[in-house]
């Protein structure tokens, strides 16, 4: 991590906004999550989605809730996508989406109690297509190797003893161990793709998902016959941070190109998008658009 650089960018981000800091020790965290939300209070439905996850996003524990951070990537994506509904649709790669779900969990290993948490899932009008999205704000300022745990090294530990996952794991070794790269993001991509593959191919994984979300609208994701995955990344205007962001995007792009053929079925036309590009296509009200620009895009490269 480059704390001085990250704090420099955080200071830039708070120039155009007012908030009550959580404490002197956590000055880049808001006191109330509502202060981090564009549009004010989180709806009960959306709050339930966050509560269903395991990321400690909304609850203070020994430290402030993750969602209280000025540079929370989950709140960044939430502020952009929270408005998606039947009247406010978004089109990506020719598909129109009118439903959104946050912090969606996908099972990776049958015996693991740590599912993959994906920031956003968009569902098409006919509920036949789902686009899973991983959001990044400033995380790529952290460099270093980040290997998958030993439980991922034996194909027998997976739901399906199939070539799709086996080839992904073989390919991934050269990416999670690279130096001077943000490898945690690559590790997350691998886990997300495994989770999506399980949702597509394993009846047992589908049963887990259905049981977990049986009382939640999120269960609609099971109606899909097509799953896609992409990354949306914030690229700061700070020159050093922009350089590190570009390095991560290049790393992700190389990862995408190296994906086994069978895994590429989960990648659409767009695998990497910036928040500036998303800002250009998100169809929100004028006041929301202005606030998104003021809070985020004004500091985007």
pLDDT, residue 152, reads 87
pLDDT, residue 1, reads 43
pLDDT, residue 177, reads 75
Contact 102, 120 (CB under 8 A): yes
Contact 78, 37 (CB under 8 A): yes
Contact 137, 183 (CB under 8 A): no
Q: Give dist(CA 46, CA 66) in Å, integer.
A: 16
Q: N- to C-terminal Cα distance for the chain?
A: 21
pTM: 0.96
pLDDT, residue 155, reads 83
pLDDT, residue 3, reads 58
pLDDT, residue 4, reads 87
H/E element holding 242?
A: helix 239-258
pLDDT, residue 165, reads 85
Q: With a cut of 50, which residues of the chain have pLDDT below it?
A: 1
| Strand-by-strand arrangement of the 267-274 sheet | 90-92, 95-106, 116-124, 129-136, 226-233, 267-274
pLDDT, residue 39, reads 83
């Amino acid at each position: 991590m480059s704390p001085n650089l990250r704090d420099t960018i955080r200071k830039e981000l708070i120039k155009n906004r007012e908030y009550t800091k959580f404490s002197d020790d956590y000055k880049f965290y808001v006191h109330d999550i509502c202060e981090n939300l564009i549009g004010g209070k989180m709806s009960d439905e959306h709050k339930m989605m966050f509560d269903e996850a395991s990321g400690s996003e909304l609850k203070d524990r020994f430290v402030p809730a993750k969602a209280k951070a000025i540079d929370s990537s989950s709140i960044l994506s939430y502020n952009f996508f929270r408005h998606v509904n039947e009247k406010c649709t978004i089109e990506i790669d020719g598909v129109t989406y009118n439903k959104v779900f946050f912090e969606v969990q996908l099972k990776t290993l049958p015996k693991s109690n740590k599912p993959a948490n994906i920031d956003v899932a968009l569902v098409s009008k006919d509920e036949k297509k789902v686009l899973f999205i991983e959001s990044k704000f400033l995380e790529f300022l952290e460099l270093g190797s980040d290997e998958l745990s030993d439980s991922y090294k034996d194909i027998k530990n997976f739901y399906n003893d199939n070539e799709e996952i086996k080839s992904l794991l073989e390919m991934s070794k050269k990416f999670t161990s690279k130096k001077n790269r943000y490898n945690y993001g690559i590790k997350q991509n691998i886990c997300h793709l495994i989770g999506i593959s399980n949702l597509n191919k394993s009846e047992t994984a589908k049963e887990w998902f259905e049981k977990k979300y049986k009382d939640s609208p999120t269960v609609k994701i099971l109606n899909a016959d097509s799953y896609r995955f992409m990354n949306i990344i914030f690229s700061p205007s700070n020159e050093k941070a922009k350089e590190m962001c570009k390095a991560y995007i290049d790393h992700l792009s190389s990862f995408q190109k190296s994906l086994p053929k069978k895994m590429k079925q989960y990648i659409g036309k767009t695998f990497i998008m910036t928040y500036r590009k998303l800002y250009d296509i998100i169809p929100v009200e004028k006041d929301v658009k202005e606030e998104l620009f003021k809070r985020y895009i004004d500091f985007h490269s």
